[in-house]
Every structure is written in C-alpha cells, then in structure tokens.
Amino acid sequence: MTPASEPRWLTEAEQDAWYAWRRMFPLVNAEIARDLSQDSGLSEADYDVLSVLGSTEGHRMRISALAELMRWSRSRLSHQLTRMEQRGIVRREEVATDGRGAEVVLTETGVAAITDAAPLHVESVRRHLIDILTPAQLQALAEVGEVLRHRFGAARKGRD
Amino acid sequence: MTPASEPRWLTEAEQDAWYAWRRMFPLVNAEIARDLSQDSGLSEADYDVLSVLGSTEGHRMRISALAELMRWSRSRLSHQLTRMEQRGIVRREEVATDGRGAEVVLTETGVAAITDAAPLHVESVRRHLIDILTPAQLQALAEVGEVLRHRFGAARKGRD
DNA sequence: GTTATGTGAGTGACGTGTCAACCAGGTAGA
DNA sequence: TCTACCTGGTTGACACGTCACTCACATAAC
C-alpha cells in the first residue's frame, strides 16, 4: 500500500511461469470446449450443470444449493438455467415448502444429453490435457491447485 | 473414434489434476481482474492491449499485426478497440501505404493509463499467484505450459 | 483494362458473465 | 399486527468473445 518507489518486477523465471499461466488455460479450454460443442452440442457451462444434476437423486436440486455447490453466483446460474430451459434440457419447478424457492430438474432430454456427452468429454480431456502430461506434472498441477485453493479460502474439495 | 465400449474414466490422481486445473484459473484471474479494475479502471483485455502498445515505438501498431502478436482474432480485437476508442485510450488511424489498413495508437490518456497501471498490476500478480508459489512450483507451471504450447503448435514464445 | 480472388478490417447476432436493482415471500421484534 | 429486515430468485444493462457475414481495397490472371 505504501507507494512503492520501485515495483518488484518479475524475474525471468517468474515471467515464464506467468506467461505460461496466462496462455495454457485458454489454449486447452478452447479445445475442450470446441470438442464438447461439436460432439454433444453443449457448452462447458451446460456440461457442468448437467453433470451435477446427473448425479443427484431425482436429477433435481434446489437452485440456491446448486449455485453454492458449483460456486456460481445466483445470477449466473439463473441466466444459465434460463438458456438451458429454453432448449428443453432442464425444467424449473416451484417448491412447496418455501414460496420463494425453486428447483431445477433434468428433463429426459437432459439426462440423455449428459449420458451421451460424458464419455466423449473424458476422451477430450485426456486428449488435450491429461494424456499429454506426465504423472509428475499432473501431480504438480494438483499441488499448485491445492496451494491456491487454500490461499483463497475456497474450502470445499468435492466434485464439480 | 471407434465407439469405445468403455470410456477411460479418470483415475483419482487424474481427477485431482483436472479439478485443480478447472478451479485455479478462474479463482486467481478473478482476483487479479478485480484488482486491475479497482486500481486502474481497466479490464484484463484493456491491459493486454495497452501493455503491448506501450512497448512499441510511437505507441502504435498495425491492427492486423497486433492481432497476430496477441493471438487474438481480428474480430475480437476490433470489438475491443471500439470499446477502448470510445473511452479515449486508443485511437484508430488510417495508414497511407494500404487503403485497407489501419493502425491503433495510444492516446496520451492511454499512455498514462498503462504507466500507472503496470506497477500495481505486478504487485497484484505477485500477491495472488507468484509470491504464493515456490520456485519449484513456478517452474513446474512453466514446464507444463511449455509442453502444452508444443502440443498445440503455438510456436511463438515472445512476450504478451 | 476487366474480372476473379485474396486480404484488412468492421458489424450483428448470440452465448456468456458481472453488477446492481428489484420483487416476492419469510421471519422477528415492537 | 405492523414493520423492518433477510433471503431466494430473476432481470436489465453492459463487457466480452465467437462466428458468419460484409465491404473496401489490392493483386493477379486473362
């Protein structure tokens, strides 16, 4: 906070890490997103929502619970659900116990979508990331992720 | 492509790496973007464009060259420049040698913006990423980035 | 020179995400 | 009960990125 007269610019090694960081995520994610879209007609956001709902009993969940589990803002989830609802892969339902509340439910189309998409998606993730890296590199990624998660106080470890 | 009867699901170690991958980037970038916006009123996209232009002679560059250097689509850059131009931090100029061509130029406001923003941005990057990780972890990130860059044929290594 | 093709750049529609505002329904205190 | 506040959820405006399309100018073929 003191107006540093000399900012601590990055060393070369730090720059390498920073540039790698900036580049690799868009690079890999764009490939995986492209595959997902072509193979299954889904966006990554669609897939994330579907995969969570696909593994709950009744294929349904309270909207606020879903948002919290995914660490999405309510607003973001609401917009996303609106788009997904228009395409018929999820449906909103009022909940009896709380006049304000609502649930999302997978439609049959939605169940089929995630069932069909999952194997292809795994292959894509392998092809563009997992199978490219050595076990040591994968472990390093997991470790860095762990450090950062702690740093940012994102407690939960569960699945996506 | 053969309809795999049994998809190769991820092992636990692979899942750890994959989930870490999915989480870390948004987590860290959101923090850095927030800092940038609060400290300097710039988006990351703004900053990227400004920082490239800030280190060219004349603070100007041919639009297509800028797009290629940044690995952005022309369209993306065009939209971005439109927004930046409206805020007065860059200006478009026609180029004499080619009736189709155009250049972007930093305005005085733009020069001031990047000059003021850079030190704060470095601090932010340190705070949210670089200073948190060990040299070994930074090196691991750089290494992974290198592997992926090769895999995706993104040849150039230069700066952002 | 005229025509075909290529290239630099901008545009429009749409999906996505953020923020701030809003609204309806709950809850608690007077 | 009335009021104040909280909470679940939606909405609108806007920033950003992609894709497909367009338009103007350049270049090469004839």
Residue B37 identity: S
Gap from A98 CA to C26 C1', in Å?
Answer: 8
Residue A89 scores a pLDDT above 90: yes
Percent of chain B residues past pLDDT 70, beyond the cut: 92
**What confidence tier does A157 reach under pLDDT thresholds 50, 70, 90?**
very low
Three-state secondary-structure class, residue A70: helix
Average pLDDT of the segment spanning A90-103 = 92
Number of H helices, E strands in chain B: 6, 3
B95 touches chain A (CB under 8 A): no
What is the rounded distance in angstroms from the CA atom of residue A53 to the CA atom of residue A15?
Answer: 40
pLDDT on residue B159: 32
A15 to each of B9, B98, B137, how far by Cα in Å? Answer: 35, 36, 13
Strand partners, A60: A105
CB-based contact B126:A8 (threshold 8 Å) = yes
Res. B7 pLDDT band, cuts 50 70 90 = confident
CB contact under 8 A, A27 and B149: yes
Give tens-digit pLDDT for B98-132: 989 999 999 999 999 999 999 999 999 999 999 99
- The pair of three-digit structure tokens given for residue A88, joined into one six-digit string: 């018929």
A103 pLDDT band, cuts 50/70/90, is very high
Arithmetic mean of pLDDT, B89-103? 93
At residue A93, the pLDDT reads 95
Is residue A62 scored above 60 in pLDDT? yes
pLDDT in tens, B30-52: 999 999 999 999 999 999 999 99
| Residue B130: Cβ-neighbour burial (10 angstroms; 0-12, 13-18, 19+) | buried
Backbone φ and ψ of A65, nearest 5°: -65, -40
* Chain B residues lying within 8 Å of A10, measured CB to CB: 122, 125-126, 130
Would you tell me how many other CB atoms lie within 10 Å of the CB of residue B6?
A: 6
pLDDT higher than 60, residue B59: yes
Nearest to A146 by CA among A18, A127, A138: A138
Q: How many CB atoms lie within 10 A of CB B86?
A: 9
What does the alpha-carbon distance between residue A93 and residue A60 come to, in Å, rounded to a whole number?
Answer: 9
Minimum mean pLDDT range among A28-42, A44-58, A143-157, B59-73: A143-157
Q: Which nucleotide is nearest to B34 (CA to C1')?
A: C18
pTM above 0.85, yes or no: yes
Check pLDDT > 80 for residue A24.
Answer: yes
The pLDDT of B151-160, averaged and rounded, is 48
Contact between residue A136 and residue A56 where contact means Cβ atoms under 8 Å apart: no
Contacts of B134 (CB under 8 A, 6+ apart): none
pLDDT at residue A26 greater than cutoff 80: yes
- Window 21-50 of B: residues touching A by CB (8 A cutoff) are 21-25, 27-28, 31
The set of residues, in sequence order, having a beta carbon less than 8 Å from that of B63 and lying 6+ positions away, is: B74, B77, B78, B81, B92, B101, B102, B103, B104
**B1 and chain A: CB distance < 8 Å anywhere?**
no
